[in-house]
Structure 1
Amino acid sequence: MAENKELKYNEPWILQRADPFVCKKDGWYYFTASIPSYDCIALRRSKTLDGLKDAEEVVVWKKHESGIMSKHIWAPELHYLFGKWYIYFAAGEAENIWNIRPYVLECQGDDPINDEWIERGKMQRADDDIFSFEAFSLDATIFENKGKYYYVWAEKVSVGPQISNLYIAEMESGYKLKTVQVLLTTPDYDWERHGFWVNEGPAVIKHDGKIFLTYSASDTGVNYCMGMLTADENSDVLDPLSWKKERYPVLKTNEELEIYGPGHNSFTVDEDGNDVMVYHARKEAEIEGDPLYNPNRHAMLMKLRWNEDGRPVFSYKD
């Protein structure tokens, strides 16, 4: 297929938009991301992927003034499932800013830009699940396999230092889980433990019968990088043994190209159907202040290629 000549890869595409998420439906591309002020959720759309960078940004929801959903509005994702549009995001409380939990918005119409959004509250765990969302939880994504929807998220446990793991469960509805959570991955390796012990920011792409789940590791500075898990689409994705974890990161800082701390990605396709990864990264190695509050994480695009074994190739080379 012809390649999209307008798109520029591995350079800032949409400035100061971390945790970028793109989905495509009915000929429209939709974009959302963390806003540097962490106080609202905004959407933009375009008929072309390149057009998203200049598209109007519409705020569809603003944070509360106090209580839940009033601080640290992070990493929204827009998904269409169970016949409705949903936005999944994480938020803290003004009274306890690190009391981060996952929340859900539901659109009351077919137009996510202009129709009303209502709050469905905190994501509901399965009836027999006593663990999920009791601690710091964020970065939920959803994927479909064999007609079922699965919810994957990061949640911290306290074992000495707080450790951020990735969990998975099947969904019963757009705002409730059907099954008890299962641990997918914990920060096993040194490259997942810089600053903090972190696995977060999951994203899924399927290809040739395989499910590839990328995630981000370490703190949000130059050590931020991407790992990957792989499962067969015919396997039981709720069985941790169905997933194979890569020993080394699949994408990391490239000082020569001045791309620092790549991660928290999503996947889409260009207008010709070619796979594209959307991710954020910084252009400077030295970060002023706390990396979490430095706004200079920019959304970028990467051509996603596939090797002869049907595995994704994450390369900064065009």
Structure 2
Amino acid sequence: MRGHKTIKGALLIGLIAMGLSCSKHTSTQGDDTTPPVVVKDNTFYNPLLSSGPDPWIYKKDGMFYFTSTNAVNITLWATPAISDLSKVTPKVVWSPPTTGANSKNIWAPELHYLQGKWYLYYTAGASSDLATQRCFVLENAGGDPTSGAWVDKGKIGDPAANFFAIDGTVMEYKSKMYFIWSGQISASDATQRIYIAEMSDPWTLKSARVQISKPDYDWEKRGSSVNEGPEALISPSGTAFVVYSGSNCATDDYGLGMLRLKDNGDPLNPADWTKSATPVFSKSINNNVFGPGHNGFFKSKDDKEDWIVYHANSQSGLGCGGTRSPRIQKFTWNTDGTPNFGEPLAVSSKLTKPSGD
């Protein structure tokens, strides 16, 4: 019996020790003040904003600057993460005069940094008559385009061809600057064409305008014959492209076409440009994306990715108004050196943020 009691005692002491050990361990876990690991959400959804026709994004010194058409002024958004654009408070940086050549219909503003200063290129007119629409330039010598004074540098265009002109942009190619825009051949012309001219400075043309594209294919003539919204894109190998919008913006078939400059070609020689016969980016009925167009291009924050920005409607028949919202998506390059924009994605698609955002 004595031996039996000894065994029972030993077992009891062991159980008590185990209980104390467990109690101590549990208490230690409960007192742990190490914060939980927070997994950052690296995704976003289009659109970036609920409205924003003719969107434009420019990146400099780790900041993204966004602007779009609102018809009454020029407003800038500034953000270190373009996918967070909706969290930014925009700032009106320029309002038009009450009268004059650039007082009405403020369209398609674009921000560029050239020769050490900021420039805003935009379209405006003198009245509700859209035939008066022309391209204009503003200059800001400050470091931050959302502050400082914007100086009106006036109209930019070919003095010998003072006709309808919209959607001006700048292409920097082989140490030269070129102004590219959509215009008409005469005051009575109803066809929008793509013109280019060399620049002597950011607000002056050095050469006469040269036509490098007009609507040739059926897909460019839906609603009306239109080539507009030209944007320059330089490939990793140095090839120059101009991506433009074709057909009337009020149609679901508004989409993107592309011109390619031959290697070492002259941008002012129309024969050195070739046009894709089919659109390179167009509506997706399956994804409920209609009228995707008036695009721009930008690099991710770490310069590792290429992205396209464009506007589109989420339903058929919404036309050319404020329902057009800005969207972005990554694109890649084909083995032949051309860009591959893929298909415009649905607003329900969860996308990975641009690298570095």
TM-score normalised by structure 2 residue count: 0.81
> 1:218 maps to what in 2?
247
1:40-67 per-residue CA deviation (whole Å, 9 max, x = no partner) reads 0001111122122321210001122222
> 1:25 maps to what in 2?
60
> 2:337 maps to what in 1?
310
Contact 1:145 1:233 (8 Å CA) reproduced: no
Contact 1:40 1:73 (8 Å CA) reproduced: yes
1:241 to 271, 287, 291: 271
1:201-253 per-residue CA deviation (whole Å, 9 max, x = no partner) reads 01111111211210001111212011000114522111111111000111111
Q: Write the distance in 2 (CA, Å) between the matches of 1:130 and 1:161.
A: 16
Q: Write the distance in 2 (CA, Å) between the matches of 1:7 and 1:44.
A: 18
CA deviation after TM superposition for structure 1 residue 147, in Å: 0.9
How do residues 182-261 of structure 1 correspond to structure 2 at under 5 angstroms? 182-207=210-235, 208-220=237-249, 221-232=251-262, 234-261=264-291
3-state DSSP of counterpart to 1:280: strand
Paired residues in the alignment total 302
CA deviation after TM superposition for structure 1 residue 124, in Å: 4.6
> 1:5 maps to what in 2?
42
Q: Could you tell me the percent identity over the aligned residues?
A: 37
Q: Which moved more, 1:159-168 or 1:49-58?
A: 159-168
Q: Write the distance in 1 (CA, Å) between the matches of 2:274 and 2:130.
A: 35
> 2:19 maps to what in 1?
none
3-state DSSP of counterpart to 2:68: strand
Contact 1:276 1:304 (8 Å CA) reproduced: yes
Q: Which runs of 5+ in 2 are unaligned?
A: 1-40, 346-350, 352-357
Q: Which moved more, 1:95-104 or 1:69-78?
A: 95-104
3-state DSSP of counterpart to 1:52: helix
1:102 to 129, 135, 140: 135
Q: Write the distance in 1 (CA, Å) between the matches of 2:288 and 2:182.
A: 28
Q: Write the distance in 2 (CA, Å) between the matches of 1:46 and 1:160.
A: 43
Tell me if 1:135 matches 2:163: yes
3-state DSSP of counterpart to 1:209: coil
TM-score normalised by structure 1 residue count: 0.90
Q: Write the distance in 2 (CA, Å) between the matches of 1:100 and 1:175.
A: 17
Q: Which structure is larger by alpha-carbon Rg, 1 or 2? A: 2
Contact 1:89 1:103 (8 Å CA) reproduced: yes
Q: CA RMSD in A?
A: 1.8
Q: Write the distance in 1 (CA, Å) between the matches of 2:66 and 2:247.
A: 25
> 1:276 maps to what in 2?
307
Q: Write the distance in 2 (CA, Å) between the matches of 1:203 and 1:7.
A: 25
> 1:116 maps to what in 2?
149
Tell me if 1:178 matches 2:206: yes
Q: Write the distance in 2 (CA, Å) between the matches of 1:171 and 1:158.
A: 22
Q: Write the distance in 1 (CA, Å) between the matches of 2:286 and 2:180.
A: 33
Q: Write the distance in 1 (CA, Å) between the matches of 2:263 and 2:308.
A: 20
> 2:5 maps to what in 1?
none
CA deviation after TM superposition for structure 1 residue 108, in Å: 3.2
Q: Write the distance in 1 (CA, Å) between the matches of 2:123 and 2:342.
A: 30
1:11-37 per-residue CA deviation (whole Å, 9 max, x = no partner) reads 3222210111111111111111101xx
CA deviation after TM superposition for structure 1 residue 95, in Å: 6.1
Q: Which amino acid aligns with 1:62?
A: S
1:57 to 80, 90, 95: 90
3-state DSSP of counterpart to 1:263: strand
Q: Write the distance in 2 (CA, Å) between the matches of 1:203 and 1:41.
A: 19
3-state DSSP of counterpart to 2:100: coil
Tell me which stretches of 4 or more aligned residues in structure 1 moved more than 4 Å: 158-161
Tell me if 1:297 matches 2:324: yes
3-state DSSP of counterpart to 2:328: strand
